[in-house]
Every structure is written in C-alpha cells, then in structure tokens.
Amino acid sequence: MINIPKGTKDVLPGESVKWHYTEDTLRGLAALYNAHEIRTPVFEHTELFVRSIGDGTDVVSKEMYTFEDKGGRSITLKPEGTAPVARSFVENSLDSMSLPLKMYYIIPAFRYERPQAGRLREFHQFGLEVYGATSPYLDLECISFAYEALIKLGLKGVRLHLNSIGCPECRKDYVVALKKYFADKLDVMCDTCKERYERNPLRLLDCKSPVCRSVAAGAPKITEHLCADCRAHHEKLCALLDASGIPYEVDEGIVRGLDYYTRTVFEFVTDELGAQGTVCGGGRYDNLVASIGGKPTGCVGFAMGLERLIMLMEKQGVDFGEERVTAFVMSQTTEYADKCMEIVAELRKNGISADTEMTGRSLKAQFKYADKIRAKYGIVIGGNEIETGKIKIKNLSDGTEEECDIRDIAARLKEKK
C-alpha cells in the first residue's frame, strides 16, 4: 500500500462538485471583470522565484520544491502564481497588448511547510493580476473582485485588512527606524524573529507569537514613513474603498511574506479557520516586471487559497449544488442492453446526461444503483417497450411516472431540465 505524500490531498468524486462550484463561480466573475485566463507551467527556473519573491523570504529559503532536472538545470515547482505570470508577460511581450491587462489563473502551488488544517504542501490558488498602470483604481479593481468573489461564494464575516508598505525609497528610512526599535527587544522574541531582524525586518511585524506580537505593537508605523506619492496613493485607495462601500481596516501589521510588494498590501481574513485564517492575500508590485528584465510596469493582484475557501464554505453551510445524472436507463434483461446503450447515446447527443447498466445486474439491483447515484429519472426498456414503442419516465424522487414515445425521450427530458 502506497500512501499519499504528506501535506497533499485527493479530491474525491463526491467532493469535486465543491471545487467545480467554486471554480465556476470565480471564472464567471472573471468574465464579468474582463479578465482572461493565463496558464503557465507547473515548474519554472528556480532563479525566477529567487529573484522575484526574494531569497530572504521563508518561501524561497525554506519552502521551495527545488530539484535538478536531467539536463542539470535547477527547477522549482511553483510556490505561487505571480512570478510566473510576470515572466510570461515579459517573455511574450504582453505589454504590446492593450493595457491594462487583467489575467487570472487557477493553479496548484507547492510549498514545503508544516502541514496543518488549511496549510498544505500542494494547495490551489485562484489569482488575479492586473498589469499596466500605477493608478489606485487598479488596486480598487482587484480588491473589489476579491470582495465580490467572497460574497458570490456565499461567505460571510471575512474582513479586509489593508496597509501600504511604501516604495523602496520610503521603506529604507522605515527599516532603519524598525531595526532601531527592535534592537534591544530581540532577547525576548522568538528565534524566527531574531533571524528576521537581519534578513527581513518588515516581517517582525507579522509574527503570530503572543510575546512578539506585544513587542511589535509598539513599533513605529510604516504609514508615518510614507513618501508623499505613496501616501497619496494610499489615501486615494482608502477614499475609493469608502465610496464603493467595501468595508476595510487599515492594519499596519500586514506586511506579506513575499519581497516584490510595493505600496498597497491586503489580506482577507476570517476567525473561523484557526491559525490559517487568511483566505486571500495580495498587493501591488510595481518593480517586479523590471526586476526580471521587462519595462517598468504598474501591477497589482491577489491570490485566494481554494482549500481554505472551500473549508470556510463548508463551515458556513454553503450549498454547493449537486451533480446528478438526469436519466438512468435500465434493461429488463440483458437482452435489451444494446437498445439501452443506443438510447443513452442519443440522450447524450441531445445534451442530457445519461447512464445505463453495464454489468448485467437484475432490474431490482439496477433500481438500487440508480437510487444510490441519485439519478433523477429511471427508464426501463423491455420487450413491451420495444413492441409498443412507448416507455415510462419515472421520477425517482417521488415515484411518479409519465408515458412517452420511445423516440421522444430526449425531447421530453429536455422539457424537464
């Protein structure tokens, strides 16, 4: 017996309906926003992630699935979708398309993390990336997409936390102030924070340990160190959100775990998923495209963790709908199996989902099976039906029957759909 690798999950036939519902809802919303799907490979050159996400981040320094391929290249399974989209944008000169360009993706992502509820080693993201301008209207577009997506998925009580981490210029000053503040407090802080002090001081602000949190509470605020342009951007976005009626909270603790962000960063969080309560994270990254060889391009985006979304939807009792076959065609005896096959083929051609008996079971067993798979209608084919050309369509939920010409089954079922 070979088991599934730690931190991964199968989506079983009974559960896939939840994924279809979630993905279809998100794709539908993407169409309403004029966003187009982009598909990039599952693996990329390792250098792409090192350069964009940053080698001081947990993702790059500890969590990547990196290996050498048979040609001696260093390859990494993608830990997120933003860097691959940026790579593709540059490589395919997508800046020659009309900008702004809105792209979305549904991807598996891989991070070697300690698995727990809502934290996996292979997980899935829906992401949206908007390219082509530094205007705060693009930030609003992304945030309102995410906000509407959560509503469309039937979720309640997910809060938006918003911050600005400025540009590299205003961050220089801020990091100095931050390091000065933490310098004599590191003794009481956790080992990860001690390490972050040198490597990635902004992340001292989002440690989850209660002691580190209380120390961080008194730290200087980034919003007090923003340059005039970054401040104006942040204020305009807040005003746009106010005008759109999207509730948010400015939270100076939101710094995000990836290095490419500039200015706006945001997360949608819930208290209902324990420690892994961030269902969506994103922000602006105006320097990423240039850092991997493209022209400077204003960009903003987000990604939602699909496992976390679905867990929350389950918790909140969202109705995912059902995927039920419309007709189950049964043969009185094996003699009529060919005719049944013919009928289901005809139904499928007419866009009606249909199935039939293929293992030679008794009629009673076929009815049992039809019930189990929750088929909507049952149709029995036997000598009588062939002779008279009349069949009965049985509603398997309430037992009612109606007669119909054998040639009209598809038309009659279509009326019922």
Q: Is 294 in the site for ligand HAM (CB under 6 A)?
A: no
Task: Identify the bridge partners of residue 250 per DSSP, sorted by sequence position.
Answer: 162
Work out which of 23, 95, 113, 346 binds ligand HAM, going by CB under 6 A: 113
Which residue, 95 or 113, is less far from ligand HAM as judged by CB?
A: 113
Task: Identify the bridge partners of residue 101 per DSSP, sorted by sequence position.
Answer: 131
Task: Identify the bridge partners of residue 16 per DSSP, sorted by sequence position.
Answer: none
CB 22 within 8 A of CB 310: yes
DSSP 350-364: TT--EEE--S---HH
How many other CB atoms sit within 10 Å of the CB of residue 212?
22
Q: How far apart are CA 279 and CA 114, in angstroms?
A: 18
Strands 299-305 and 278-284 come out as antiparallel
Minimum separation from the CB atom of position 383 to ligand HAM (A): 57
Half-sphere exposure of 179 (CA within 13 A, CB side): 13
Which residue, 80 or 252, is less far from ligand HAM as judged by CB?
A: 80
Output the six-digit token pair for 244.
């759109």
Q: Is 103 in the site for ligand HAM (CB under 6 A)?
A: no
Work out which of 303, 318, 410, 413 binds ligand HAM, going by CB under 6 A: 303
* Residue span binding ligand HAM (CB under 6 A) among the ranges 94-102, 148-156, 276-284, 331-339: 276-284
Q: Is 51 in the site for ligand HAM (CB under 6 A)?
A: no
Minimum separation from the CB atom of position 70 to ligand HAM (A): 28
How many residues of this chain interact with ligand HAM, rule: CB under 6 A?
27
Q: Is 166 in the site for ligand HAM (CB under 6 A)?
A: no
Q: Is 298 in the site for ligand HAM (CB under 6 A)?
A: no
> Residue 102: enclosing H or E segment and its boundaries?
strand 101-110
Task: Identify the bridge partners of residue 163 per DSSP, sorted by sequence position.
Answer: 265
Q: Is 206 in the site for ligand HAM (CB under 6 A)?
A: no
What's the first-to-final CA gap in the chain, in angstroms?
43
Task: Identify the bridge partners of residue 299 per DSSP, sorted by sequence position.
Answer: 131
Q: Is 301 in the site for ligand HAM (CB under 6 A)?
A: yes
Q: Is 308 in the site for ligand HAM (CB under 6 A)?
A: yes
Q: Is 119 in the site for ligand HAM (CB under 6 A)?
A: yes
Contact residues for 74 (Cβ-Cβ < 8 A; gap 6+): 45, 46, 47, 66, 67, 68
Q: Is 89 in the site for ligand HAM (CB under 6 A)?
A: no
User: Site mask, ligand HAM, residues 4-33, x = CB under 6 A?
Assistant: ------------------------------
Q: Is 269 in the site for ligand HAM (CB under 6 A)?
A: no
C-alpha distances (whole Å) from 149 to each of 23, 107, 302 are: 11, 17, 12
* Residue span binding ligand HAM (CB under 6 A) among the ranges 67-75, 277-285, 324-332, 346-354: 277-285
Provide the 8-state DSSP code for 62: I
* Residue span binding ligand HAM (CB under 6 A) among the ranges 75-83, 90-98, 197-205, 390-398: 75-83
Write out the residues near ligand HAM by the rule CB under 6 A.
80-82, 111, 113, 118-120, 123, 125, 127, 129, 257-258, 278-283, 301-305, 307-308
